Amino acid sequence: MHGIPVLMYHHVNPAGNALNVVPERFERQMGYLASAGYRTIDTSDLLDILSTGRKPPGRAVMITFDDGWLDNYLYAFPILKEFNLKAVVFVVTSWAGERGVRTDKIPLPRHKDCVRLVQEDRSGDVVLSWDELREMESSGLIDVQSHTHSHIRWDREVPEDERIEALREDLEISRSMIEEKLNKPCNALCWPWGKGNVSYVKTAQEVGFRMLFTTEKGTNKGVEDLKGIKRIVIGNIKVPNLKKKLFIYSRPGFSRFYLRIFG
């Protein structure tokens, strides 16, 4: 069985760098996926495939965006619509707000400056609003899921004896907000900072999350992957490099060998 590569993005905007894909490059990447016959899937598709062993539809691939940045709506969403491609947006629910829908493609900062604005309580300048998330979700192409409520490092910011309860409360808030605001089930969680430990995974599953996404490199092929779904950083790369990554990470055995050699 071929594995399912899960592509990881953060930003699509003209301020291109490792985490910011310029729109023209993103359009070429998405154009390649469409022309090469890739089938983009959402979290319900992935859950069905991994939990049942059902054969993936054609050349299955998942596109994901972390954090819920405004440029996902202004720049990435129109391109996804152009090629009729699905994607998952993992939103930090405490950062989203009620700011209406913005359509002007204003200059947006790079990732580190976006993070600084969030820390200065200016998330409204750079993060998606609930209205924008509703529009994206209602298109049938975008699947909004959780990136927690607060995006904190519990291991660094919360005393050990309070950590699991704080995590549980955070995850419950995030999940319920998405379900209430968007009138949809929220079954997938993307860990901030990459990966949760055994206790975190157990807590997330108890809250109701059935898929847990990480930043660990690799591919996904079975039910055991649901508690630690691997992803591939894409970034501002050219199409030949994207083709290489897709080739490697759609083949579980080959990708394991590749990672042992090259890391």
Mean pLDDT of the residues in the chain: 94
How many Å apart are CA 208 and CA 169, to the nearest integer? 12
- What pLDDT was estimated at residue 56? 85
Q: Which of the residue ranges 18-22, 219-223, 253-257 would you say has the lowest mean pLDDT?
A: 253-257
Higher pLDDT, 28 or 56: 28
Nearest partner of 186 among 152, 227, 144, 228, judged by Cα: 144
pLDDT category of residue 260 using cuts at 50, 70 and 90 = confident
How many Å apart are CA 22 and CA 6, to the nearest integer? 20
CATH 3.65.10.10 fits 6-262, yes or no: no
174-183: per-residue pLDDT in tens? 999 999 999 9
How many CB atoms lie under 10 A from the CB of residue 183?
Answer: 10
Three-state SS for 233? strand
The whole-number average pLDDT for the span 237-247 is 97
77-125: per-residue pLDDT in tens? 999 999 999 999 999 999 998 889 999 888 789 999 999 999 999 999 9
How many CB atoms lie under 10 A from the CB of residue 122?
Answer: 12
Q: HSE on the CB side for 33, CA within 13 Å?
A: 27
Instruction: Decide if pLDDT at 1 tops 80.
Output: no
CA distances from 158 to 123, 153, 163, 194 (A): 23, 8, 6, 18
- What are the sequence ranges of the domains in the chain? 6-262
pTM: 0.96
Name every residue whose Cβ is closer than 8 Å to that of residue 187 and which is 6 or more positions away in sequence: 43, 44, 47, 145, 208, 209, 210, 211
